[in-house]
Amino acid sequence: MIKFSRPTILMCPPDFYGIEYEINPWMNRSVPSDLERSKRQWNALHDLLVQLGADVRLMQPVAGLPDLVFTANAGLVCRNKVFLASFRHAARQGETPVDAEWFQSAGFETIAFPSGHNFEGAGDALFCGDTLYAGYLVRSDVSSMQWIGTQLNCRVIPLQLVDDHYYHLDTCFCPLNAETALYYPGAFDDYARRALSQIRSLIPVQADEAARFACNAVVVGHHVVMNQGCPQLESDLVKAGYVPHSTPLDEFLKAGGSAKCLTLRLDGEEAAVWP
């Protein structure tokens, strides 16, 4: 069993990050990223997480894989197992062997999906308490989420995403603890909103801040790290007993990512509860 003494996060430097293709509405090759500015923003996020007590592990960037920087999509981590991503788009499928090699070298057992399944890691699979909330339709398949449920013997609640701008669950939903979560209601269908209502405390995010990827936040204890420009959510978090930290991540918004997309908890989210 792999043991961690403090919050442990996987990140990948943005050495080869760029808008090289278009697989979501945020990406536009005519609006390229600024590499030096991307590096400054990534470094600021990295340093902030370290200051908050996280142990940040690094994956080596690889030329030709610009989205490898978004480590949240690499897989779903559960104890010493990782359910590896099976990307829908060919442009990202080359990431999986790189991710698998890193996890195996770090001592994790890697598990691949049966053929024909699409699954995009912690981008679409997030625990709140002992329930796995699973985004599907845009990138991941509901059958993939059900398969994970059988492997982990856990409760899975599928949530249909209805707006391609919020193509992954972590762009519109963020557990803060076992009974509290952020969410953007406009990203979900009616059934999903009803399913989410079982969470004891839901903090809604307004549309303009959702478009700043306010929900794509990193939780480290009672600290919440997010993109700058979300004052209403910052105020709501303070009222809920959390300490918000904003940092500029606009360069990554160009690819449809922000703080959570750039990180993967290797020790399991604080909200995840396992017997």
Local mean pLDDT, 10-residue blocks, the chain (275 residues): 90 98 98 98 98 97 98 95 97 98 97 94 96 97 96 96 98 97 98 97 98 98 97 98 98 98 89 50
Domains for the chain: give ranges and CATH numbers: 8-18+34-265 (3.75.10.10)
Tell how many helices (H) and how many strands (E) occur in the chain.
8, 15
Mark residue 6 as left, alpha or beta (left: phi above 0; alpha: psi -120 to 50; beta: remaining). beta
Q: Which two tokens stand for residue 131?
A: 């329930």
pLDDT digits (tens, 9 = 90+) for 141-173: 999 999 999 999 999 999 999 999 999 999 999
- The residues that are catalytic are 168, 261
Question: Which residue has tokens 């700043």?
Answer: 212
pTM above 0.95, yes or no: yes
